[in-house]
């Protein structure tokens, strides 16, 4: 164990559609429906194991906090009681998922260390998922990744057997979105009426892209008209679908193939930073 190094990829995700069904009466949490798709844009965690009983974190991006507020250390703090007392590690996080872009980078990082270090514990899968959920709402999704149908408050996950052959062009505007403020702006009443599944049944060939709207755009667009501008640019560049991912700020376009996505990236060059991606393969 001591001195061995593990390299772990930590993938980002996109929301394919986001629909709100109400707010939970007990605590006011928003009830939603979405498809989460893990994509191949990824961070890398370089983990050097040691017999110190301590976990230390560094990061290639100086804007990312490396103290106890980081999801990596929060996950390890919660997992700690089930680990051998002498187990420790130096962890260096190489960031490629833009910080604060709404792509789930922090949640993915937390899930990556939970998967790695759970091998040193005797926790059941259910116990591990409970720890994941206590770190962040998206962390349970990243424990398995892939494509999942998400309901409840984001805590009910159902893996879907469908392969997205599309390429995605991610576009990063010059602003970030405060997720908590975006949720408050939705102004949904407290009710828990269940609606018929809207997105899971759309996975046909050809896809019913027109049904995958993101209802966050209703509250994000007035404050950030750049979202609509980017979507228009993506559509003009040949995207079969464009959308805000989650509450943003990332906007993406789906293209039939990688060549089409790369050509669109060339058209948008100089206006916004972009990344071409595909569905992740673990």
Strand-pairing partners, residue 214, are 18
To the question of domain 167-278 being in CATH 3.40.50.2300, the answer is no
Q: Where are the domains of the chain?
A: 5-159, 167-278
What local confidence, expressed as pLDDT, does residue 25 receive? Answer: 75
Is the per-residue pLDDT at 188 higher than 70?
no
Band (pLDDT 50/70/90 cuts) for residue 148 is very high
What local confidence, expressed as pLDDT, does residue 130 receive? Answer: 94
105 Cβ contact partners less than 8 Å away, ≥ 6 residues apart: 10, 12, 43, 95, 97, 98, 99
Structure confidence by residue, pLDDT tens digits, 60-107: 999 999 999 999 999 999 999 999 999 999 999 999 998 878 899 999
Distance CA(2)–CA(5), nearest Å, equals 9
Burial status of residue 231 (CB atoms within 10 A of its CB: 0-12, 13-18, 19 or more): buried
Architecture category of domain 5-159 in CATH? 2-Layer Sandwich (3.30)
Band (pLDDT 50/70/90 cuts) for residue 195 is low
Structure confidence by residue, pLDDT tens digits, 253-268: 999 999 999 999 999 9
What local confidence, expressed as pLDDT, does residue 183 receive? Answer: 75
Which active-site residues does the annotation give? 13, 138
């Amino acid at each position: 164990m001591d001195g061995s190094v593990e390299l772990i990829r930590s993938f980002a995700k996109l929301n394919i559609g986001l629909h709100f069904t109400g707010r939970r009466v007990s605590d006011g949490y928003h009830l939603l429906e979405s498809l989460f798709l893990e994509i191949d844009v990824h961070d890398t965690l370089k983990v050097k194991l040691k017999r110190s009983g301590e976990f230390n974190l560094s990061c290639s991006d100086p804007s990312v906090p490396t103290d106890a507020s980081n999801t990596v250390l929060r996950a390890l703090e919660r997992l700690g009681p089930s680990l051998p007392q002498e187990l420790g590690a130096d962890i260096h996080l190489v960031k490629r998922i833009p910080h604060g872009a709404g792509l789930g980078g922090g949640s993915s990082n937390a899930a990556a260390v939970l998967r790695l270090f759970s091998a040193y514990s005797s926790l059941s899968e259910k116990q591990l998922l409970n720890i994941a959920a206590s770190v962040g709402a998206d962390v349970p999704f990243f424990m398995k990744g892939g494509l999942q149908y998400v309901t409840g408050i984001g805590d009910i996950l159902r893996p879907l057997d469908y392969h997205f052959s599309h390429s995605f062009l991610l576009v990063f505007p010059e602003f970030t979105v405060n997720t908590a403020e975006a949720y408050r702006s939705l102004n949904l009443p407290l009710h828990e009426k269940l609606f018929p599944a809207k997105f899971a049944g759309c996975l046909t060939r050809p896809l019913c892209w027109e049904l995958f709207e993101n209802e966050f755009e209703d509250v994000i667009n007035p404050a950030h008209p750049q979202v609509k501008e980017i979507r228009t640019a993506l559509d003009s560049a040949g995207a079969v679908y464009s959308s805000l991912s989650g509450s943003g700020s990332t906007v993406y376009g789906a293209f039939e193939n990688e060549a089409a996505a790369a050509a669109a990236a060339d058209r948008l060059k100089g206006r916004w930073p972009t990344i071409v991606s595909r569905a992740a393969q673990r």
